[in-house]
Amino acid sequence: MKKSLGNVKRLSMNTVEKYDRMAHNESFAGFDGFGIDVGEGNFYASGTVASTSTEPYVLNISNAGAGTETAIVFGRNRYVGQANFGSGANITIAMAVAGVPYEQMLQQSASEPFEVVKTRLSSTSVTQLNQTITYVKTDSNGQEARTPITVTSYLSPDQFQDTLRDIDYRIQVDGNTHLEYPILAAQSVTMSIYIQAKVNIAKPLIQKPAVTEFSSARIRSFRK
């Protein structure tokens, strides 16, 4: 009888250890593991292994006004206390995922900075798609750097879909960075943001690196 109880005890401990390891696995830790496990072997220059791919952040942006207005995307530290988070009065920015408010994304971008590897724009208006986006980096000391992203320069001659633009331009997003995107009157656009790396400062609490690097965005790119 004692031998039998001992076996049960060892089995229970093994089960606990198994689920403890699962709880600390990348697929469960910090919610950064959402996506598909692609196994080992995808190494990056930093030496870390990209074990997962990730779904994009998808934003629906629209302008209900009679004239062009600017949408401010991100920029939490500067715009979180301003009306409409800095965007024009007739601009609406909404997450494509039901139940997730844009403000959650805005706050998260400051506490969990990330690197964007690709941005896809979708709209029924070609003129809207070709509007130049400005990438802005600011600092509380007053410094500001502005980089125009000319969307038309990313249009491939092999591309026949007028409703899409793929922008292969890397940017880093945190609380002090934002995008300025002119939205034409009565127009709307969907912005899909694919990330390469993301910071989660809670990861070291479970002996994981603070930076998670994802495998390449699984999206068809047009040849150039």
Question: How much is the pTM?
Answer: 0.74
Q: Which domains does the chain have, with CATH numbers?
A: 32-213 (2.60.120)
Structure confidence by residue, pLDDT tens digits, 101-111: 999 999 999 99
Q: Please report the pLDDT score of residue 27 as a whole number.
A: 39
Q: Which parts of the chain register pLDDT below 50?
A: 1-51, 222-224
Structure token digits, residue 128: 């809207």
Tokens of 212: 């998670």
Question: What are 37's two structure tokens?
Answer: 């496990």
pLDDT value for 83:
98
CB atoms within 10 A of CB 193: 23
Looking at residue 21, what DSSP letter applies?
Answer: H
Q: How many C-alpha atoms does 85 have within 13 Å on its Cβ side?
A: 23
Residue 42's pLDDT is 36
Q: How far apart are CA 145 and CA 176, in angstroms?
A: 11
Evaluate the CA torsion angle 129, 87, 102, 34 in order and state its sign: positive
170 CB neighbour count, 10 Å cutoff: 11
Q: What pLDDT, on a 0 to 100 scale, did the predictor assign at position 220?
A: 53
Confidence at residue 53, expressed as pLDDT on a 0 to 100 scale: 61
